[in-house]
Amino acid sequence: MIRASGHRDPVVAVTALVLWLLLALFVVYPLGMLFARMVVDQGGFTTAAIAKILTDRNQIRAFWNSLLLATLVGALGTAVGFLFAFTAARGRLPRWLLAMVDASVLLPLVSPPFTTAIAIIFSFGPRGLITYELLGMKGVTVYGLTSTFVSEALTYFPIAYLTLRPILAAIDSNIEGMAFSLGASRWRVFRTVTLPLATPGLANAFLLLFAASLADFATPLILAGNQFPVLPTQAYLQITGLFDLRGGAVLSFVLLVPALVVFVLQRYWVSRRFYVTITGKGAGETPFNSISPATRNVLLMVCATVALVIVYFYALLLYASLVMALGANHTFTLQHYRVIFTEGAKAIRDTLIVAAFAMPLGGLYGVLLGYLVTKKAFIGRRSMELVSMVNYALPGTIVGIAYLIAFNDPPIELTGTALIIIACYVFRYGPTGIRATVALLQQIDKSLEEASQGMGAGSATTFRRVTLPLILPAFFAGLGVVFIRSMTAISATIFLVSISWTLITVKILDNITELALGPAAAFSVLVVVIVFVVIAAIGRLLRLFRAPGNVPMASLLGG
Amino acid sequence: MTAESIGVDVEGVSKRYAHRVKGEVYAARDVVLHVKPGEFLTLLGPSGCGKTTTLRMIAGYEMPDAGRIRFGGQDVTHEPANRRNIGFVFQNYALFPHLSIFENVAYGLRVRGIDEAEIGRRVGEVLVLVGLSGYEQQFSSQLSGGEQQRVALARAIVIRPRVLLFDEPLSNLDAKLRVQMRHEIRELQRTLGITTVYVTHDQEEAMAVSDRIAVMSAGSVVQEGTAEDLYHRPASQFVAQFVGRVNLVPGRITSIAGDVAKVAALGSTVDALVLTAGLSPGAAVRLVVRPESMAIAPVASGSGALAATVTSRTFLGEKIEYLLRCADETLQVVRYDSGPGDIMAEGSIVAVRFAEGAVTVLPETVAAAKSE
C-alpha cells in the first residue's frame, strides 16, 4: 500500500498546479481547438465540414482501407511475433542465439519508421534489386496494399514479440508436462493448454499492432500509392495538398474512433483476462520439453528466415547509401553522406537540438508526474494521470494536426518554433517515463523508506539516498524513449516542422519524394547508428548506477 | 560494542483505524508492556492481533492515538523513528537493492556523520559478527535468504541501537534455516545485551528465543510470562490453544480441596489443578491436558485408568501420535517411541492415565473455539 502524504505541502501544491497548467496547455487545449475547428465556422456551429468528409466516397474508402490494413498487419504481425516468442521461450536456445534473435528484433524498433519501406522499394521497385536485377521483370509496381501491409508487419511484429515472450515464459512448462503425462500429444498440449493460456496475450498483441498500423503514417505515404488511400495520409494530404485544415481535422477525428475503441478494449477488456499460472515451485532444472526437436528446427528455420529478411533489408539500406544509385550504378561512393552532412546538415543539427532539449525535459516531466501521482495526495490526482496519457495514446496524426491548429494563431503562437516540436515530444513520449516511474514506485516496498528512517535518516536524506536512486531507471527510460522518438518520429511532427526548424525524418521523406533514395538511405543509416549509440550509453549509465531495468523497447514504436 | 541497556515501557498504548465495513477498529488497545534492560521480549499472537502495530509504535513508524512510550524512562511517544535510535529488522529485510552490502550496513553510520575509517572498522566488525565478512561488495540480489537476513541484522546492530526490534524476521526462510537463525539471533542478543522486542506468530520460535513472551489477541495482551508459564499455566483457553497443542476436555467441578478440584469428565472423575480464582463446585470447566502428559497402555494393565479406543495413529519416528476416542471425546496423545513393539494398534482398547499434576482446569467460556 502506498501511503499518500503531504496533503498541504506547498511544494506539492505548486508543482501540481504547474503540471496541470502544462497539461491544459499542451494536451487539453489543442484537442479542444481541433474539435472546435471541426464544428465552428465563422462563429456559428456547423456540421457541414463533417458531412462533406463523411459523404466523400474516397474518404470512406480510406476509412475502410485503414481498418483492413490494420487488421491484416495485426494478424500477420501477431503470428510472426508469436512464432518468435514461442521459439525464444520454448526452443531451449543457446544464449548467443537468443541474443541474435533479440538483436534482429531490435533493429526495426529503433529505426526511422520508413526504413523497411525504402528497403522494399530497393528490392521490389521498378529498378528493384530482386524484381529488376534478379528476375529481369520490367514495369512492376510495388505500391499498394500488399507491400504496405508486409512492410508494416515486419516493422511492428517486434511489439507482438515483446508482449508475448514474457507471457509464454511465465506459463510454467510443468503445466504442459502435466497435460503430456495425461496422454496428450505435444500438438494437443499446444492446442489445448499453451494456446488458450496465451490467448489474452495474443489478443493484446493484436490490438497493439492494430493501433500501431492505424496510426502509421510513413509507410502508407511511401508504399500505399494513390490506389490505396488510408486515413493518416489522407489527413496529411488534405492539409498540405488542399490547405484544408478543417477537412484534415475531421479526418483525424474519424481516425480517433477506431483508435479509441482499440485503446479501451486493450486497457479494460484484454488486460483483465490474463491467466495467472502459479504452481508453487518453478520448473527447476529439468523443464518439460514442450516441443519436439523436429518442431524446434522448423521454428528456428522460420525465425531465421524472417531475421535474415530484416538483416538483408538493413544491409541493403547500408549498401544503397554507399553506391551511386542502387539498381543503376553500383560504384562505391561517399557522395550521399557528403550530401546529408552539407545540404542535410541543418536537419541533423535541428533534430539533435530538439532531441537534446526534449530528452531532459521529457525525462524530468515523467519522473515528476509519476512521483506526484503515486506518492502525493492532491485534488485531481487520478485525472492528472489519465490526461497525461492522452497524447501518448492518440495517433500522431491527430496530435500533430491539433498542435498545428491550436498554436498557429494568437493567443499562443508557436508555429515555426522549435518549442512546438519539443513540446509535442515531451507530452507525447514523456508518458513512458511516467509509466516507468509509477511501476517502479509501486514495486518499492514502504519498508525500504522506513528502514532508512529507522537508521536515523530524515525524509530529505531518505528521498535522496533511497527513493531517488531507485527511480533513476525510470528517468533513464524516459530519457531514452524521448531521445529515440525525437530521432525517429514523423507522424505528428511533420505538421509542425518549418523553414526554421526541420527534422531528419521529414528530410528522408522529402528525399524519397524527390527519388533521391541514396541520401534517404544515408540518413536512415545515420539515425540507426545514433540511436544505437544512445541506447548503449543509457545501458551503460544504468549499469553505472547499478539500477535494475532497461529501456522499455516496446514503447519505442510507431511513427 | 555493548551499549548500556535501557528498559522500554509501553504504557496503555492504543491505535485506531477506520475500517470500511466495521467502522472504527482498534489495532491495539491499552497495550501495557514493560521490557527490562537487556531483556528479550516476544509479542506472540495470530495475524491481526496487533503485535506488529505495537512493534511499529515502539519503533516510531506509527503514532499511538493514546498512551505513552518510554525508552529508559524518557518519553519518546512523539519522536519519529529517525530520532529514536532503534535497530529494526523487517520481515522482507528491506535491504537497499541499489547499495552494496557494505553500503547497506554503513547507511546508518553515514547518516550519523561518522568518519570513514570508523565506518570501515565498525562495518567490518559487525560483518564478522554475523559471519558475512568478504561479502562487502556483493549486492542483496546475489545473496541467499539467510544471508540477506544476516545483513539486515548487521545493519540494525551496527548503529548500536538502544532497542532492537524484529518484525517476523524468519518467516521468509525455510524450516531448517529458521531454527538455525533463531539461535544466532538469540546468541547475538545475549552477547550485545540490547533490549529486544520480537514479533512472531510461531509459538515454537517465541519459546526458543525469548526471556519472556506476551501473548496478544484482538489488540490486547492477554497473558505475559516465560515460555514455561504460558505452556503449563495458561490463563485462558486462547493461550492454552495458541501455545502448544492441547486437549480441552469439557467437564464439571464436583468438589474443590485447596487448589485441587475433582472434575467430572470423560465418564469418570479427574483431579486437576485450579490456577484461576472464582471457580466453585458445579461450574462448567475445561480440563487442560497436553498430549504428552498422558500415558497409554494395553487395557489389562491396571485400575484407575480411563478406557479409550485408538481411532488413528501416526508413526513419526521419534514419536507416535494417537487419536483416542474416550467417552465421546477425542483425545490427542503423543508418546515417545521406546522401541518396536511399543505401538498400539488402531482399533485396540487402551488405558489412559494422566501424569501427576499435569492437568489444570479453566472456566468454560462461551467463546471456546475448537477443542483440538
Q: Give the tens place of pLDDT for each residue, A480-532.
A: 888 888 888 888 888 888 878 888 888 888 888 887 888 888 998 998 888 88
Residues of A in contact with B90 (CB under 8 A): 447, 450-451
Cα separations in angstroms, A511 against A230, A495, A508, A548:
22, 17, 5, 41
A456 vs A392: CA distance, rounded Å: 41
> Whole-model pTM?
0.73
Residue A306 has pLDDT above 80, yes or no: yes
User: Which of A232-236, A420-424, A472-476 bottoms out in mean pLDDT, i.e. has the lowest?
Assistant: A472-476
Q: Do B271 and B262 contact (CB within 8 A), yes or no?
A: yes
The stretch A174-196 carries a mean pLDDT of 75
Please report which confidence band the pLDDT of residue A17 belongs to, taking 50, 70 and 90 as the band edges. confident
Tell me the C-alpha distance between A175 and A159, whole Å: 26
C-alpha cell at position B20 = 470500511
Q: Does A457 contact B87 at a Cβ distance shorter than 8 Å?
A: no
Contact A465 B88 (CB under 8 A): no
Span A238-250, mean pLDDT?
81
Rounded mean pLDDT, B281-303: 83
Q: Which range has highest mean pLDDT (A124-128, A315-319, B362-366)? A: A315-319
B244–chain A nearest CA distance, Å:
29
> Residues A151, A69: contact at Cβ < 8 Å?
no
Please answer whether residues A282 and A172 qualify as being in contact, where contact means their C-beta atoms are separated by less than 8 angstroms.
Answer: yes
**Alpha-carbon radius of gyration of chain B:** 25
What does the pLDDT look like over A30-55, one tens digit per residue?
A: 988 888 887 777 777 777 777 777 77
What pLDDT score was predicted for residue A545?
A: 65
Instruction: Say if residues B157 and B123 touch (Cβ distance below 8 Å).
Output: no
Say if residues B213 and B233 touch (Cβ distance below 8 Å). no
Cβ neighbours of residue A473 under 8 Å, at least 6 residues apart? A436, A440, A542, A545, A547, A548, A549, A550
CB contact under 8 A, A456 and B92: no
The verdict on a CB contact (< 8 Å) between B94 and A461 is no
For residue B77, what pLDDT is reported?
Answer: 92
pLDDT at residue A272 in the model:
64
- Domains of chain B, start order: 8-237 (3.40.50.300), 245-363 (2.40.50.100)
Whether B366 has a pLDDT exceeding 80, the answer reads: no
User: Who wins on pLDDT, A81 or A187?
Assistant: A81
pLDDT at B301: 54
DSSP string of A307-353? HHHHHHHHHHHHHHHHEEETTTEEEE--HHHHHHHHTTHHHHHHHHH
**Residue B92 forms contact with A (CB below 8 Å):** yes
Which of A122-126, A269-273, B2-6, B231-235 comes out lowest in average pLDDT? A269-273
pLDDT digit string (tens) for B19-35? 878 788 889 999 999 99
Instruction: For residue A36, give the DSSP letter.
Output: H
Here the cell at position A103 is 538483436
Mean pLDDT to the nearest integer, A302-322: 88
Contact A452 B107 (CB under 8 A): yes
What would the pLDDT profile of B120-135 be if each residue is shown by its tens digit? 999 999 999 899 989 9
Higher confidence at residue A416 or residue A483? Answer: A483
Cα A203 from Cα A84, distance rounded (Å): 16
Is the pLDDT score of B263 beyond 60?
yes
The C-alpha cell of A198 is what? 496465451
Stretch B163-177: mean pLDDT, rounded?
A: 90
Chain B, residues 97-156, CB within 8 A of chain A, namely 97-98, 107-108, 111-112, 139, 155
A11 C-beta neighbours (distance < 10 Å), count: 9
Q: Do A457 and B111 touch (CB under 8 A)?
A: yes
In this prediction, residues B155-179 reach a mean pLDDT of 90
Residues of B in contact with A441 (CB under 8 A): none
pLDDT of residue A322 exceeding 80, the answer is: yes
pLDDT, residue B54, reads 94
Structure-block grid coordinates of residue A290: 514442450
Mean pLDDT across A95-110: 80
- How far off is chain A from B153, nearest CA to CA, in Å? 12
> Looking at residue A432, what is its pLDDT?
81
How far apart CA B356 and CA B347 sit, in angstroms, is 27
Contacts with A448 from chain B: Cβ below 8 Å: 94, 96
What pLDDT sits at residue A68?
Answer: 92
Chain A residue with Cα closest to B94: A448
Q: What is the mean pLDDT of chain B?
A: 88
What does the alpha-carbon distance between residue B249 and residue B263 come to, in Å, rounded to a whole number?
A: 10
Q: What is the pLDDT of residue A546?
A: 55
What's the DSSP call for residue A394?
S
User: Which residues lie closer than 8 Å to A408 by C-beta, 6 or more apart?
Assistant: A415
Q: Under a CB-based contact definition with an 8 Å cutoff, are residues A326 and A122 in contact?
A: yes
Copy the grid coordinates of residue A196. 488458450
Is the pLDDT score of B372 beyond 80? no
* A332 vs B218 pLDDT, higher one: B218
Instruction: Give the pLDDT confidence of A351-403 residue by residue, as tens digits.
Output: 899 999 998 998 889 888 888 888 777 778 888 888 888 888 788 888 888 88
CA dist., res. A11 & res. A460, Å (int): 13
With 0-12 / 13-18 / 19 or more C-beta atoms within 10 angstroms meaning exposed / middle / buried, residue A186 is middle
Which residues share a beta bridge with B256?
A: B261
Contact A324, A331 (CB under 8 A): yes
* Residue A239, pLDDT above cutoff 70: yes
Q: CA-CA distances (angstroms) from residue B63 to A265, B59, B77?
A: 45, 9, 7
Average pLDDT over residues B252-266: 89
pLDDT in tens, B56-101: 999 988 899 999 999 999 999 988 888 889 999 998 888 888 888 9
Distance CA A433, CA A480 (A): 9
Residue A345 in this model has a pLDDT that exceeds 70: yes
Distance (Å) of CA A84 to CA A160, A306, A558 = 9, 9, 20
Q: What is the pLDDT of residue B39?
A: 95
Chain A residues inside the 8 Å CB shell of B108:
455-457
Number of neighbours of residue B302 by Cβ within 10 angstroms: 9
Enumerate the residues of chain A whose CB falls inside 8 A of the CB of residue B107: 452, 455, 457, 465
Q: What is the b/e burial string over B143-160, where b = at least 16 CB atoms within 10 angstroms of the residue's CB? A: beebbbbbbbbbbbbbbb
Q: A530-559: per-residue pLDDT in tens? A: 888 888 887 787 777 654 444 444 444 433
- Distance (Å, rounded) from C-alpha A510 to C-alpha A520? 8
Q: Which pLDDT does position A252 carry in this prediction? A: 83
Q: Say which residues have a Cβ less than 8 Å from residue A295's Cβ, sequence separation at least 6.
A: A186
* pLDDT score of A192: 78
* pLDDT at residue A241, as a whole number: 80
How many CB pairs (< 8 A) connect A and B? 61
Task: Select from A342, A374, A360 the least CA-distant residue to A482.
Answer: A360
Query: φ and ψ at B364, to 5 degrees?
Result: -70, 130
Could you give the CA distance from residue A360 to residue A553 in angstroms, rounded to a whole number?
A: 19
Q: Report the C-alpha gap between A432 and B355 in whole angstroms.
A: 71
Q: What's the gap in Å between the CA of B86 and the closest CA on chain A? A: 6
Condensed to tens digits (0 to 9), the pLDDT of residues A247-284 reads: 888 888 888 888 888 877 777 776 666 655 444 444 44
Q: What does the block give as the cell for B356?
A: 501427576
Mean pLDDT of chain A: 80
Residue percentage of chain B with pLDDT more than 70 = 96
CA-wise closest residue to A88 among A69, A104, A72, A67: A104
Residue A417 has pLDDT above 90, yes or no: no
The rounded distance, in Å, linking the Cα atoms of A235 and A217 is: 10
Which residues of chain A neighbour B59 with C-beta distances below 8 Å? 454
Angle between helices A396-406 and A418-429 in degrees, nearest 10: 140
Question: Which residue did the predictor score with more confidence, B226 or A200?
Answer: B226
For residue B217, the model assigns a pLDDT of 93
Cα separation of the two ends of chain A: 37
| Straight-line distance from the first to the last Cα atom of chain B, in angstroms, rounded to the nearest whole number | 47
Is B88 in contact with A458 (Cβ distance < 8 A)?
no
CB contact under 8 A, B155 and A465: no
Q: Can you tell me the distance from the alpha carbon of B325 to that of A516, in angstroms, rounded to the nearest whole number?
A: 96
Short-list A424, A371, A366, CA closest to A400? A424
Nearest to B81 among A454, A545, A547 (CB): A454
CA distance A23 to A388: 7
Closest Cα in chain B, distance from residue A466 (Å):
7
What pLDDT, on the 0 to 100 scale, is given for residue B33? 94
**Shortest Cα–Cα distance, B166 to chain A (Å):** 12
